[in-house]
Amino acid sequence: MARDIMQELIEVLTRDLKVDASDVGPDTALFEGGLDLDSFAVVEMVTKVETHFGIQVSDADFVPENFSNIKTLAGVVRKYLPAAVD
């Protein structure tokens, strides 16, 4: 079964960061103008995402634009996953 990366990311946010599921969708901004995650929550999110997917995002990809919303972040995660999981 194809892996739903976006859905898994939403689950990480709701389970590990205690974000309300009704507050987050594919286009919800994770920073200003959306969930407004503070600096500690940002660190928490990044480490939980990397742990959950077993990936290590490169320093070059470690930029706010790649973490701006679930859809964008899913694209980054797919890049680091082994081929043909999604």
Partner 1 sequence: MTKTRVILDPAGPGNSTFSDPGETLKRTEFAARVAAVAAALADHAPMRICLPLLSDLGSLAALVAALESHHSVALIPGGDAPEVPAFASAVLTGAPGGGFALQMTGTPAVADATDRIYLRSSGSTGTPKWAVHGTDRLLFGNGAAVIERLALRADDKVMLPVPVHHMYGLGAGLIPAMTLGASIHLVPRGNPLTVFAAQRAVQPDVMFLVPSQCRSIMALGRVAGQLRLVVVAGDKLGADEAAAFEEKHGLLVNLYGSTELGAITAGRPSDPPALRHPFAGPVLSDFELAVVPTDDPDAAEGAQVMRIRSEHGLFGYADPATGEIDRPAGEYWTTGDLVRAHDGGLIEVLGRSDFAVNRDGLLVHMGDIETVISRVPGVAQAAVVSAGMTRRGAGLTAFCAIEDGHDTDDEAVMAACRAALQPRAVPDRLVVMAALPLLPSGKFDRRVLTTEAQSRLDA
Candidate list 4, 23, 43, 75; residue touching partner 1; CB under 8 A: 43
Q: Is 42 helix (H, G, I), strand (E, B) or coil?
A: helix
| Shortest Cβ 64–partner 1 spacing (Å) | 4
For partner 1, the closer CB: 7 or 47:
47
Give, in order, the Cα–Cα distances in Å from 36 to each of 4, 29, 39, 42, 58. 24, 8, 9, 9, 24
Candidate list 17, 29, 42, 55; residue touching partner 1; CB under 8 A: 42
For residue 22, what is the DSSP state? G
For partner 1, the closer CB: 3 or 52:
52
Q: Which position has the token pair 């930029």? A: 63
Q: Roughly how many angstroms between the first and final C-alpha of the chain, as a whole number?
A: 9
Site size for partner 1 (CB under 8 A): 13
Note the residues at the interface with partner 1 (CB under 8 A): 31, 38-40, 42-43, 46-47, 59, 62-64, 67
